[in-house]
Structure 1
Amino acid sequence: MGTQADHGHELVPRPEQTPDALRAALAIVAPARLPEMQRTKDEAFAKAVEWQSLSPVQSWVLAWARDIEIARRPDLAARHAHAIRHLEHADAALAHEALRELSAVFDEAMKAVRM
């Protein structure tokens, strides 16, 4: 498992950015998403072969590392869930704020996994 900054309670340590480590972490923090992970992994590997490029696989790893970072940190998970619930709020200002917050959560998680 990788190193991590102190963000308070974390459900699991930040996993290494390998398919097996990401899958193991996801099995703990969001097991219901395992079929989605496998489907998107299969798609990424198929595109990598078709395009003769590792970029689809690299994108898959980063996207799942980001999602796992959110799920393993209750602070980010709570902010993410709150933003998602308010994205289609009838009050446009609240919906816009939810979109801004969702973007901030994704940015924070991506920054953490790219360290």
Structure 2
Amino acid sequence: MTTQPDHGHELIPRPERTPDAVRVALARIAPHRLSEMEQHKEQALAAALQDGRIGHLQHWLTHWRAQVEIERCPGLRSRYLGALAALHHTSSRDEPEFRAAMTELRAVEAEARQAVSA
């Protein structure tokens, strides 16, 4: 695992860029999400086998590296959960609050992806 601090205090070091390292990290900080990760992996594997392209698996790994980044960095996690809560308090996609929450979710995810791609 690397120990590059990007967002202040982290709960665990950033994992290496391997599926096993990402799985171990997720098990430490968000074990309730392991089944979601496994289901997503199975979908990516099926798509890769069907299309004959490894890109589905690369996307899966990038997505879960970003999810671990969000979970391991309290500031990112707080922003992410706040945006999710705001989304759940809206009743329509037309509400300004919905659009603002979606913008924040995308920003957090983009920040996390950028951090793990550096």
Task: Please report the TM-score for the alignment, with normalisation by the length of structure 2.
Answer: 0.89
Is 1:79 the counterpart of 2:82? The answer is: no
Gaps of 5+ in 2: none
Q: Distance in 2 between matches of 1:43 and 1:90?
A: 30
Q: What does 1:62-77 correspond to in 2, within 5 Å?
A: 62-77=62-77
Q: Distance in 1 between matches of 2:50 and 2:101?
A: 37
Match of 1:96 among 89, 96, 99: 99
Task: Out of 2-11 and 34-43, give the one that drifted further.
Answer: 2-11
Which position in structure 1 is the counterpart of 2:113? 110
Report Cα offsets for 1:4-55 as digits up to 9, x if no partner: 2342210111111211001000001110111111111122122222211110
Q: Distance in 2 between matches of 1:93 and 1:40?
A: 31
Q: Are residues 90 and 40 of structure 1, via their aligned partners in 2, closer, same or farther at CA, if it must alter by over 3 Å?
A: closer
How big is the alpha-carbon RMSD for the aligned residues of Structure 1 and Structure 2?
1.6
Q: What does 1:10-89 correspond to in 2, within 5 Å?
A: 10-87=10-87, 88-89=89-90
Q: Distance in 1 between matches of 2:61 and 2:18?
A: 7
Give the number of aligned pairs.
Answer: 115
Task: Out of 3-12 and 54-63, give the one that drifted further.
Answer: 3-12
Task: Please report the TM-score for the alignment, with normalisation by the length of structure 1.
Answer: 0.91
Please list every run of at least 4 consecutive aligned residues from structure 1 whose deviation after the TM superposition is greater than 6 angstroms: none
Query: CA contact under 8 A between 2:16 and 2:22: conserved in structure 1?
Result: yes
Question: Identity percentage over the alignment?
Answer: 44
Q: Distance in 2 between matches of 1:44 and 1:51?
A: 10
Gaps of 5+ in 1: none
